[in-house]
Structure 1
């Protein structure tokens, strides 16, 4: 078995990159004021092997083979941490024993943490310093409610001493030349490296299992870049960037996930990459308009120069509204790159770039390198993908795994996409982003986009709601703009009449009151099923609440009936 004191790391691409970068890059690679760390590669490598030593102590010897690899039967180790230095070290130390990491949210409930540990049959949970109070709650809950044995350990207790003369197991801090690759310590590329839990449409979260090859590829950056790290690492975007940028040699700086903190660091200059989910780009926009724009010109210019100096400004997680993209493109002067992917694809499947036609709404750009695509039908339909990062299976769910792939191994995204020339256009989710109205299939994003552009509407969401006569109908939830308090369903339909075909117009309206919010998940995706349940609950008799204004869909001719060709898509009588 590999000696716990060994400075030799597994024979895998990610560890080879770490050692190579350590020999060529003397700079700070990870700056994290929350942990009091400005880590260089020697410091990082030292902490990885130091924590790995503790992992061998904290786990039963029976879990390892003769080469120090954790056995494949129980490879999962839970990590509860924000995006910080401790998470990076913990993740790489876990990988260094051949194990797989399972990142959990820093705000997870104790009963949820216990559930995930039981699902993964995990024996060990590593906890970052900010999450230690939560760790105590998890431990108490587990002892009171389960026979499952879970060893909970602080990550910091496995790191080297940061004050005085740094030592490792009694020896002075090692240099980058003291680390090497153990050619006997190989880990099959097909073995698990990561589980990310993602919400399913029904039932408990699904465990998306990625193989070791997930960490084999870089991030398209260089050691000249500076990346602001602020996204949670239990989501695919935050995790992939945080770990892969370390392997790439790209400097990361941890900042608070808030608009003032991000704008403040941007103002200092030197940042080249900023990746945010949609809610953060909205928050940054509001902070600019409310706080920065009123400043004197010379003060405001420092913020703008910092933002305009970005080499990469990227948005992901969902399809942003055109108005958000327009603000950043026209008012600030930076076109946001849009990435399309999900937990299962392991990274972007599509991305826009400087060649993308910015005037095309819902444009996904073109497939990333290494991505193979095909449609369910011709140049339109559900998009199927193969990527280098594609997940291998859902944890303990053979049926769901089988259903997620085509017979020839493509992942079924559940998204409808069309192709126009070289560009791919997002049309919506197959499950929630289309309304089946009589015999028509209505893309909610098209309706939502037009609705949000009305002067009377400050915020909009469109969902499918059950209907006794039409199977489902188009339901709109809106927050009215100031001065438009008397708008109703008729006035909104009238305003949309020259923008949408008649059968696509909303037939149910719910106006948001003060304090009411449209439910969404962290990534910015609207939780449409929750929206329907919250604002359009259907009674046993099939009726909707009194706050919902309804259109008479039985009479197609009265009150603003068909006025132009194709209002009913040539399918009158459905």
Structure 2
């Protein structure tokens, strides 16, 4: 049974992301504040933001950047990120956003795979970007440092050139707007090909359920380089002329102080932030009375924890669901549906269909007339679903079927109201504090250690119920490797969220006859 969204289909404009967000700006809207830098309080109006983005586009065009080119953007949240991100799109180029925690090796792999020809970063991240750019063959003069560094062009330099944005025509349905990297349902990170139409569609779809408006002030602490931050915080807010308050990283005291000082009304969070809001004593020291809604995404949020946050802050707490491969939103709790359980990720957004499929039999599971359905894998179809993975036809075919359904790898149930609940995962991907950690990547790294004979990695819950990477390791004979030493060794080679947090030494790694690691056996330990 194909399950359809309960909402009428939306009209997806045949426009670029830049035109969707800014082409119809009125004079009154140009005077509104678009972005506030949380730490400094400096603000940028919508009118100034558009001018900056267009000048960035002009400067990039003068450097030969246009349709078909990929520009890497490697920076924390800031007003500069917003201007540069949309400037790259206005130039007709594709943005590949890079995790600001990545090491030089990780950056190099992404830049090489995406075929980026120019990179933009900030001074505190420059060393990692230099190493990554060098590995990808990008010379120093093609590395822009937004806040300035000796020998590098800055954002101020680009704006000072005063160049007009180029005349660019692209096919919104086929032209890649962004190329974020995701591990999908399994394996190493892959470039997710998202077109302008994908992103435009998801903004229009999401705003049917996520009610933001020009009076809202959004605390933007979730990173814009992640598709959740990119679409839900950044683009949705700009589309409705809300005010974004950017924070470069999550620091609870700064986050709470900014909410109070800027009178934020809407918070988009991941479960670790929700946990802090529910339990941390600092929350009681700040006036958060302006917050009317908190939406949690990136990983499942326990309904009891959502209840605790709602009771403590006296606001609405809801969830949404999505994947990078869906731009990302496929489900959300509508603004007018407070009757739905806080444990639910909500209803299917407009212009989408889905199936819930029994992974054992392949049979469809129907929406029940009463109560809750049996669990099954969620498959989704809609205008927000990616074209595929860059240069990886095999992974694309394994994820997108011939009918256009994206096999999410998540196990869900659906109730009689059409509300979905994420209950498990088929996929091996570990979600550590909302960040993706592919076990295959850590396993490949562990196997390069001279004292490691074999290894497998799974996600296990910590004291707060968050999933953390645990390595099962077979030592080489006659070695004395210990767990702390190995965790330190891994930490020196990966981004912080990919660190192995636990190590257990075993005699063998359980595997199938085909050589596939039997992770369920490891979880059973």
Common fold: TM-score over 0.5? yes
Is the 2:413–2:423 contact (alpha carbons within 8 Å) kept by the matching residues of 1? yes
C-alpha change, 1:419 and 1:39, in structure 2 (3 Å) is same
Q: d(CA) in 1 for partners of 2:262 and 2:39? A: 21
Is the 2:74–2:98 contact (alpha carbons within 8 Å) kept by the matching residues of 1? yes
Stretches of structure 2 lacking an aligned partner (at least 5 in a row): 1-13, 148-152, 358-363, 367-373, 430-457, 466-483, 491-496, 511-521
Name the SS for the 2:324 alignment partner.
Answer: coil
Q: d(CA) in 1 for partners of 2:464 and 2:306? A: 21
Match of 1:131 among 125, 132, 150: 125
Match of 2:190 among 206, 211, 216: 206
Is the 2:306–2:318 contact (alpha carbons within 8 Å) kept by the matching residues of 1? no
Is the 2:278–2:312 contact (alpha carbons within 8 Å) kept by the matching residues of 1? no
Number of the residue aligned with 2:78: 84
C-alpha change, 1:35 and 1:124, in structure 2 (3 Å) is farther
Please state if 1:339 is matched with 2:307. no
Please state if 1:389 is matched with 2:384. yes
Match of 1:23 among 21, 27, 31: 27
Please state if 1:95 is matched with 2:100. no
Match of 1:232 among 223, 227, 239: 223
Number of the residue aligned with 1:502: none
Q: TM-score, normalised on structure 1?
A: 0.63
C-alpha change, 1:24 and 1:55, in structure 2 (3 Å) is same
Number of the residue aligned with 2:440: none
| TM-align CA RMSD | 4.0
Number of the residue aligned with 1:169: 162
Number of the residue aligned with 1:215: 199
Please state if 1:275 is matched with 2:259. no
Match of 2:337 among 355, 379, 400: 355
Match of 2:414 among 409, 414, 419: 419
Q: How far apart are residue 259 of structure 1 and its match?
A: 1.6
Match of 1:540 among 495, 498, 508: 508
Larger CA Rg, structure 1 vs 2: 1
Number of the residue aligned with 1:487: none
Q: d(CA) in 1 for partners of 2:35 and 2:459? A: 47
Q: d(CA) in 1 for partners of 2:260 and 2:216? A: 16
Number of the residue aligned with 1:257: 250
Name the SS for the 2:327 alignment partner.
Answer: coil
Q: d(CA) in 2 for partners of 1:194 and 1:167? A: 26
- Cα shift readout 1:281-330 (whole Å, capped 9, x = no counterpart): 1123333xx2344xxxxxx5x62xx34x3232111111122331121133
Is the 2:58–2:91 contact (alpha carbons within 8 Å) kept by the matching residues of 1? no
Number of the residue aligned with 1:491: none
Stretches of structure 1 lacking an aligned partner (at least 5 in a row): 1-9, 64-69, 171-178, 294-299, 434-473, 482-512, 520-525, 543-549, 554-574
Q: d(CA) in 2 for partners of 1:42 and 1:480? A: 44
Q: How far apart are residue 274 of structure 1 and its match?
A: 0.5
Number of the residue aligned with 1:378: 365
C-alpha change, 1:411 and 1:356, in structure 2 (3 Å) is farther
The 5 A counterparts of 1:144-543 are: 147=137, 151-155=142-146, 157=153, 159=155, 169=162, 185-199=169-183, 203-216=187-200, 217-218=203-204, 219=207, 220-240=211-231, 241-255=233-247, 256-268=249-261, 270-287=263-280, 290-293=281-284, 303=287, 306-307=288-289, 309-353=290-334, 355-357=337-339, 360=341, 362-376=343-357, 377-379=364-366, 380=374, 381-422=376-417, 423-432=419-428, 479=463, 534=502, 537-540=505-508
Q: How far apart are residue 228 of structure 1 and its match?
A: 0.8
Please state if 1:14 is matched with 2:35. no
Q: d(CA) in 1 for partners of 2:356 and 2:20? A: 38
Q: Select the structure with the greater relative contact order (CA < 8 A; seq sep ≥ 6).
A: 2
C-alpha change, 1:366 and 1:189, in structure 2 (3 Å) is same
Is the 1:123–1:149 contact (alpha carbons within 8 Å) kept by the matching residues of 2? no
- Cα shift readout 1:236-257 (whole Å, capped 9, x = no counterpart): 1111122342233111112352
Number of the residue aligned with 1:46: 51
Number of the residue aligned with 1:108: 102
Q: How far apart are residue 476 of structure 1 and its match?
A: 8.0
Q: State how many pairs are aligned.
A: 416
Q: How far apart are residue 393 of structure 1 and its match?
A: 0.7
Is the 2:271–2:297 contact (alpha carbons within 8 Å) kept by the matching residues of 1? yes
Q: How far apart are residue 479 of structure 1 and its match?
A: 4.7
